Amino acid sequence: MLNPQQQFGKTGEAIALKELTNLGYTILEKNFRAKPGEIDIIAKDKETIVFVEVKARRTKNFGNAKYSITLNKQRKISMAALSYLKKKNKMKNKARFDVVIIHSDSNKSAVEIIKNAFDLAYT
């Protein structure tokens, strides 16, 4: 059973999936796990493989969620992305990292998609 914070995260991911699908992304995988870390969503935007990090916030008390993706988090996502590309034999494909920010309050959710949010970080 999920705790309230985990349920909120899952709801945020569902909102992100719907928004990405509406924008024409094809969803390839959800919650891809590799030894270095997890990728929330892996999608395809035309010919580009997109590794998506989803951040959902109920309030802005801790700042904008886009600033919570630290260099260490970027490294983990990058290494997991490389694992995915190797596993699927897609190392020559174009790829990028997007971030989906969801700001929720009791009445509504606002979605912000940051395309190409960061570069490959592995050192």
Q: Of the ranges 4-8, 20-24, 91-95, which one carries the lowest mean pLDDT score?
A: 4-8
Look at residue 11 in the predicted model and tell me its pLDDT: 80
pLDDT over 90 at 29, yes or no: yes
48-106, pLDDT tens digit by residue?
Answer: 999 999 998 766 655 566 667 889 999 999 999 999 999 999 999 999 999 999 887 76
Domain range 4-63+70-118, its CATH number among 3.30.70.100, 3.30.1360.200, 3.40.1350.10, 3.40.605.10: 3.40.1350.10
Domain boundaries defined on the chain: 4-63+70-118
Q: What is the mean pLDDT of residues 35-52?
A: 96
| Backbone angles phi and psi of 63, in degrees to 5 | 90, 175
Torsion of CA 18, 20, 25, 30, to 10 degrees: -70
